[in-house]
Structure 1
Amino acid sequence: MVDFHSHVLFDVDDGSENLEMSMKMIEQSISEGVRILALTPHHIKGLFEEAMENKESYEEKFQFLKKKYEDRIELVKSVELMIREDLLEELQTGKTFGYGGSKTVLVELNLIDVPTYAEGLFYKMMKEGYQVILAHPERNKALREDPELIYHLHDLGVLFQLNAGSLLGQFGEKVTKFSKELIKVNLIHAIGSDGHKDKVRDMRIKHAYEEMRSLNPEAYERLLVNSEKLIRGEAVEVLPYKPWTESVKVRVKKKKKKSFLALLGF
């Protein structure tokens, strides 16, 4: 298993508080059966900037943990990037980076809406060779209320990472229901624990892989093939998405070129 999203790196954000906690979290990942674990501290301007403002410290902590566990689990460095208009510039100038220094990047939205500039930004990022993986889309209120937005983002090339805790009801019943629907319609391409601590919001992830296998065996098999490629920055082929269920009563359009072009100023 691959865990695409964690806050194991200590003393940089709201995740692990110290080395001891980081080690407990990694041990939990190993016990869950994780082979590759991404360390993705927050990068949020004005809130969590330590990881990227002090890259030497990030690298020292990462290399210590990587060496300590190299025979038991592979650690990959990355960052969870809060969406912002100058995100592409930050990546291109080396202020931040993707998985293992690749062009595959983990981007998060706030929990309420989708910025009007998001589509244009993602389009430009894709054009420059970046692969955007959107972190926990199921937690975003606007996407839950209008799944059509999810389809549209995917049409732009965006892939989606599910939080394992969302399937446990960690963020409420609506999030759990939406998560399962995303799996059923082939719109989950990566899974992450989003583990923040060793006890609360921990590193459990195995159940999410098992539930995905139960809900959509074909998507599960494709995810197993693609996970290691994605985290190494390689291109992947994903399954075509399916229509949203009738019970949700949302009519999905595969293309929304007008709104997209409008955002680009055409």
Structure 2
Amino acid sequence: MPFSFFKSKRVTPDLSFIGVDMHSHLLPGLDDGVQYVADSVRFIATLKEMGYHHFVCTPHILHGIHPNSPETILPALDIMQKALQEANVQVGTGAAAEYMVDLEMEEALKKNQPILPLGKQYVLIEMSYAAPSSNIESTIFELQLQGYKPVLAHPERYNFFHHMPAQLTRLRDMGCLLQLNLLSLSDYYGTGVRRFAEKLVKENQIDFAGTDLHHQRHLDALIELASQKSFYQLLQPLKLRNQELA
């Protein structure tokens, strides 16, 4: 049963202690997330009611599937910002990207191609769910050489880390920060993901938390999760860095 871990007193959703959503797919028409700007506005308006005041949207950059770049991302941000203004939804917005760690990213870094960071220094990266990227360590090192702080998206969703947690510890020791998907604290992605997410939270290994919002199902599940008192008892002790990005 979904959300079976959080059978506790129901509360009004209040994610203001996070405040800044730094991982979402709310820019319209760029990837597997929101396709229409009207949905972007509607989702952001709902998230604002839940306590968010700033959104850094992070469309995928994945060679051959989501071939985004600053040239596609920034115009989409402009369209969304204008729509939010017309709807009188007053929030801060910005754009970065979720970079797939692959050979194309490695080449882009070597060529000093423009990077869209979270804030001024953080870069959100991801890997395939099937296996760790063979160049994950060299990419982390190259980002650091260029003055960035890499942030690995949703490490709890990589099943290979569940069986080989030392690999994740190694990335952490290299200086790679970790970003939790909030829905991982429910059974939305499965019980194994939820258990590993809880482990990372309890061990204080999480630096950022994001919605990773793509569509209405994600929003509905987040509202349900954020209505459970146990969610806050688990997450609020963390010293998240989200507010640095406002």
TM range (shorter): 0.7 to 0.9
Q: Scaled by the length of structure 1, what TM-score is found?
A: 0.75
RCO greater where, 1 or 2, for CA within 8 Å and sep 6 or more? Answer: 2
Q: State the alpha-carbon separation in 2 of the partners of residues 160 and 69 from structure 1.
A: 34
Q: Does 1:75 align with 2:87?
A: no
Q: Does the 8 Å CA contact 1:42/1:51 hold for their aligned counterparts? A: no
Which amino acid letter does the alignment assign opposite residue 119 of structure 1? Answer: E
SS at match of 2:23: coil
Instruction: Evaluate the alpha carbon distance shift between residue 9 and residue 177 of structure 1 in structure 2; reply closer, same or farther with a 3 A threshold.
Output: same
Q: State the alpha-carbon separation in 1 of the partners of residues 35 and 208 from structure 2.
A: 26
Q: Does 1:15 align with 2:30?
A: no
Q: State the alpha-carbon separation in 1 of the partners of residues 229 and 122 from structure 2.
A: 25
For 1:146, the equivalent position in structure 2 comes to: 164
For residue 69 of structure 1, report the CA deviation from its aligned partner: 7.1
Q: Scaled by the length of structure 2, what TM-score is found?
A: 0.81
Superposition RMSD in Å: 2.6
1:184 to 202, 221, 237: 202
For 1:2, the equivalent position in structure 2 comes to: 20
Instruction: Evaluate the alpha carbon distance shift between residue 46 and residue 86 of structure 1 in structure 2; reply closer, same or farther with a 3 A threshold.
Output: closer
For 1:155, the equivalent position in structure 2 comes to: 173
2:64 to 18, 36, 46: 46
1:202 to 190, 194, 219: 219
For 1:171, the equivalent position in structure 2 comes to: 189
SS at match of 1:7: coil
SS at match of 1:54: helix
SS at match of 2:43: helix
- CA deviation vs aligned residue, 1:87-138 (integer Å, no higher than 9, x gap): 25535634441124x2311111111211222112212211221111111111
- CA deviation vs aligned residue, 1:204-224 (integer Å, no higher than 9, x gap): 377399656523654x2x21x
Instruction: Evaluate the alpha carbon distance shift between residue 69 and residue 38 of structure 1 in structure 2; reply closer, same or farther with a 3 A threshold.
Output: farther
Q: Does 1:227 align with 2:242?
A: yes
**5+ unaligned residues in a row in structure 2: which ranges?**
1-18
Which amino acid letter does the alignment assign opposite residue 20 of structure 1? Answer: A
